Structure 1
Amino acid sequence: MTKKRDYGQFCGLASAMTMIGERWTLLVIRELLIGPTRFNELSENLPGIGPNLLSDRLRSLTAAGIVEHTAVPSDGRGRLYRLTPVGEQLRGPVLELARWGLQFLTDADAAGATRAAWGFLAVQAMTDRDNVPAVDEEYEFRVDEEVFTIHVHDGTVEFARGPAAHPVIVINSDSQMFVKIGAKMTSPFDAIVTGAVKIEGDPDAMHRCTRLLQLA
């Protein structure tokens, strides 16, 4: 593996770019923010990266202490990659960058790859933590084959993969429409009218949820 070229600057941003600024690196981190993942799964979810380049990026991130790997009990040769505590510190910056990038998406981009699990990160990126509902409730999202939940409790917001125990609303959508709504390429109302999004549950809770996700 070749040595990384730094920017020769005594600056935190330059240091960060040395660690994670190479092509594909942040997208590898995006996948690991969703959860621990095996190499083959990373390769499948990052079409176009190529196995050699993916291996190089994982080695670099591991050497930097951002990623670690463990053995897979059922597979003597398999490795499960996950973020270290240092890597997990990237969640906030990466989500903010993703939210910022939504404004630049176009209809032409919709022809590219999409993945239901990215919706799990999308709701985190879209959440306005200054507008958390004053009630305790759960919102369940079903995006293609993925299910994830927003838990609102005591003025705080938590996110989890999997169904809600007691959802006040359940939202069904495909992954492409979910991204289009997040990017404000279409409104939740128009998506509901066309049947692209289906919502079951309390209408008042739906209004609270759309305000929380800055979609009102």
Structure 2
Amino acid sequence: MGKRSYDQHCTVARALDVVGERWTLLLVRELLTGPKRFKDLLAGLPGIGTNLLAARLRALEENGILLRGTLPPPAGTGVYELTGLGRSLEPVILGLSRWGSRLVEEEPRERDERRPAWVAMALRSLFEPEADSPPEVYEFRIDGEAFHLRVEGCKVETRQGAAEVPDVVVSGGAGAFLSLSAGRMAPEEALGSGGIRIEGERDGEAAARCLKMLGSAIPTA
């Protein structure tokens, strides 16, 4: 089957020609937290299957959205990572995450998969720091799995795994963090109920800034 196209001389249609296929933007979502091996992507996208994953990766590589790399020694494993063009899709993913937070229930439906990494992306969508924001690292432990956000000015970098020296550590369950991202719960409520906890902070002001951004979601009607 040939490559499908909307055949429209339109910027939106042309973008969707490249990233509009099923699974494609979810692949970009997975790679926004750093390079991944094929088996990592397969595990992070339950239901995709090896053949379809290989096809989507090949198409993204052909369109300059990702490239193949190798992890530094001692791992030396082949990975996929986003190019600059691929990373420029981050605002699109974050916008979809903010929009989708209104549609996702606090607890998954019976047939739904849920991964801490996906919840971390919903949290990332809340962080829009000011240009004069000091450099800080916020670590989140979602159902025991660690992610961290490195903030410096307007720039925010999301990475999987624990931070070396976090300024604040916030832990909690995926449901509580999703309620924050949807605006169904304020950080003060989540802290008061035990849904989230401040487990480590080097700087009380850093914790306050982190909680302020966690509370920036537009309340769900």
Instruction: Give 1 or 2: higher helix fraction.
Output: 1
The residue matched to 1:34 in structure 2 has which SS?
A: coil
Note the residue ranges of structure 1 that are not aligned, 5 or more in a row: none
**Higher relative strand content:** 1
Superposed CA RMSD in Å reads 2.9
Matched, 1:6 2:5: yes
Contact between 1:140 and 1:148, CA under 8 Å: does it hold in 2? yes
Deviation at 1:157, TM superposition (A): 4.2
What is aligned with 2:32?
33
The percent of aligned pairs where both chains have the same amino acid is: 35
Shift of 1:107: 4.2
* Contact 1:139/1:164 (<8 A) preserved: no
Q: Contact (CA 8 Å) 1:34, 1:120: kept in 2 or not?
A: no
Alignment-derived partner of residue 210 in structure 2: 209
Name the count of aligned residue pairs. 210
Per-residue Cα deviation, 1:132-186 (whole angstroms, up to 9, x for no partner): 675554433222221313434xx4443353326351x321113333223212233
TM-score by length of 1: 0.81
**Pair 134,90 (structure 1): closer, same or farther in 2 beyond 3 Å:** closer
Deviations 1:109-151 (A, max 9, x none): 4552222233443333111335x67555443322222131343
Deviations 1:25-78, CA, capped at 9 Å, x for gaps: 1101110111111111111111111111111111111111112113567789x6
Could you state the TM-score of these two structures normalised by the residue count of structure 2?
Answer: 0.80
Matches for 1:6-25 after TM superposition, within 5 Å: 6-25=5-24
Residues 1:29 and 1:137: Cα distance change in structure 2 (over 3 Å):
closer
Pair 1:48 & 2:47 matched: yes
**Unaligned residue ranges in structure 2 (runs of 5+):** none
The alignment partner of 2:57 has SS state of helix
The one-letter code matched in structure 2 to 1:121 is: M
